Amino acid sequence: MKAKTESWLNFARADYKSAKKLLDDEELARIVTFHCQQTVEKSLKAILEEYDIIIPKTHSLIKLFSLVPDEIKTIIDVNEDELLPIDKIYIDSRYPVDTGIFPYGSPDIEDARMIFNAAEDIFNKILSAFKK
């Protein structure tokens, strides 16, 4: 594994650990979802780095995932449907908005747990792919 790839994964791991530590605080549910999005984003950027694919300046998980080679998508067993709920988080979790990222506004702790579980699954699949 390239040093820059490992660096991306270390940053992703820090976001993952941050989300996990904050997961039980209702007031921080929005922050948990942000760290979950960042975990997945940085994990996808690690894949792109490892395969010498230019990493675009974007936070869109869907755009990043579209650049992942098909053979790697098969190995990590992740699809766009899994990424969509997490993909919507970046901007809405960082700034006040009228409607929020969920139909009823900001995420609650149950939303945060759902997003965390999805991000954790994706992160673990990507980490496993690097171990092979």
Tell me the residue ranges of DSSP E strands in 6-125: none
The closest of 51, 30, 35 to 129, measured between CA atoms, is 51
Report residue 120's pLDDT band, with 50, 70 and 90 as the boundaries.
Answer: very high
Q: Is the pTM of this model over 0.95?
A: no
9 backbone dihedrals φ, ψ, rounded to 5°: -65, -35
Q: What does the mean pLDDT of the chain come to?
A: 90
Tokens of 22: 């904050």
